[in-house]
Amino acid sequence: MITFSICPACSNHIRDDEACCPFCGEVRATPALAPSKRTRLAVVTAKVISVLSIAACGYGLPPTLPDASVDAHHATDAHAADAHVDAH
């Protein structure tokens, strides 16, 4: 897609990829180049990967605590094993 801008010297529309105005010869400081499709694709891909990475890490979820009943069960088993050893 060809994009245009206005020449500051003669106010004619010139293509953004022109180094100088074809009407008055005014030299442009730097021709304005539109980002290529490949550059835009790379930016969009990087944004999608960033969002997916944050989502995969569980950003914003509260931390989960271990189940207290499992710890109580292990403590009871350990106490019973100690009592069994002491009995012998």
Q: Give residue 71's region: left, alpha or beta (phi > 0; psi -120 to 50).
A: alpha
Beta bridge partners of 6: 13
How do residues 6-27 score in pLDDT, each as one tens digit?
998 999 999 988 889 999 999 9
What does the longest C-alpha to C-alpha distance in the chain come to?
108
pLDDT confidence of residue 16: 87
pLDDT confidence of residue 82: 57
User: How many other C-beta atoms are found inside a 10 Å radius of the C-beta of residue 12?
Assistant: 13
pLDDT confidence of residue 87: 54
pLDDT above 60: residue 32: no
pTM here is 0.34
Residue 68 — very low, low, confident or very high, per pLDDT cuts 50/70/90? low
